[in-house]
């Protein structure tokens, strides 16, 4: 049984991440989407909130599990008998960081391979910070995250999204 782990901060999970998950769910027997518990990142959503959001979003995929981890990723991979670390490559700008991380992880545990998938080009500009910034300003994030996550973002920032009002205005 081939297990892959897909680690990230997922603050919050976006359609870009979900595109990577959809592509890889068909390639591996088991995929574990795992939230890195890194207090230095000062995330907007707690680990528990992020886990719940991811669980909701990956419900359609039967072989996907959702978890969190602290400490070295390669140790987490070993504990979960995962042969593959999965990462998305959105653009050339991702390369350097991913290259360093992959080689370092390989040094730490040569038995785990890192596999890269390219998300749909429509998502190549997407990241969680941009989505948070747009939501904070009341902009439309419905193209970037599933509806329940969009609602959580607006609630977290205490904003009433402008674009919904704009839509109603257009309908009248
Ligand atoms: N679609 C949309 N956005 C994507 C994306 C995709 N397919 N892939 C990455 N991103 C965005 C994320 O939204 C995030 O955006 P943000 O910075 O605005 O929040 C950004 O790219 C970073 O992505 P992420 O995958 O969350 O990486 P990370 O750098 O936060 O975390 C870990 C990387 C968790 C894998 C790494 O830090 C780790 O392994 N930590 C454990 C400790 C360890 O083992 N360290 C040694 C490593 S050699």
Tell me if residue 160 is catalytic. Answer: no
pTM for this model (two decimals):
0.93
Residue 21 confidence (pLDDT) above 70: yes
CA distance 48 to 106: 30
pLDDT in tens, 55-104: 999 999 999 999 999 999 999 999 999 999 999 999 888 999 999 999 99
Measured between alpha carbons, how far is residue 18 from residues 12, 36, 98, 155 in Å?
11, 17, 19, 22
Catalytic residue among 24, 87, 123, 128: 128
Q: How far is the CA of 11 from the centre of ligand 1 (A)?
A: 10
Please state, as a whole number, how many other Cβ atoms lie within 10 Å of the Cβ of residue 91.
10
Residues 6+ apart with CB under 8 A from 155: none
Determine whether the shortest distance from the Cβ of 126 to ligand 1 is under 6 A: yes
Residue 121 confidence (pLDDT) above 60: yes
CB 112 within 8 A of CB 85: yes
Tell me if residue 23 is catalytic. Answer: no
Tell me if residue 123 is catalytic. Answer: no
Residue 43 confidence (pLDDT) above 90: yes
Catalytic residue among 2, 41, 79, 81: 41
- Tokens of residue 113, six digits: 């391979």
């Amino acid at each position: 049984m081939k297990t892959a782990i897909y680690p990230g901060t997922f603050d919050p999970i976006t359609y870009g991440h979900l595109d990577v998950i959809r592509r890889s769910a068909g390639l591996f027997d088991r995929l574990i989407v795992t939230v890195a518990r890194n207090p230095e990142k000062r995330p907007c959503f707690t680990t528990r909130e992020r886990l719940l959001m991811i669980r909701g979003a990956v419900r359609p995929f039967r072989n996907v599990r959702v978890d969190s981890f602290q400490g070295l990723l390669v140790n987490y991979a070993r504990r979960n008998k995962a042969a593959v670390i999965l990462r998305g490559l959105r653009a050339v700008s991702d390369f350097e960081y991913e290259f360093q991380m992959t080689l370092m992880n390989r040094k730490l545990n040569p038995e785990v391979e890192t596999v890269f998938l390219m998300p749909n080009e429509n998502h190549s500009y997407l990241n969680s910070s941009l989505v948070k910034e747009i939501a904070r300003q009341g902009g439309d994030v419905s193209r970037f995250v599933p509806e329940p996550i969009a609602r959580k973002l607006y609630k977290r920032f205490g904003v009433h999204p402008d674009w919904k009002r704009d839509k109603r205005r257009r309908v009248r």
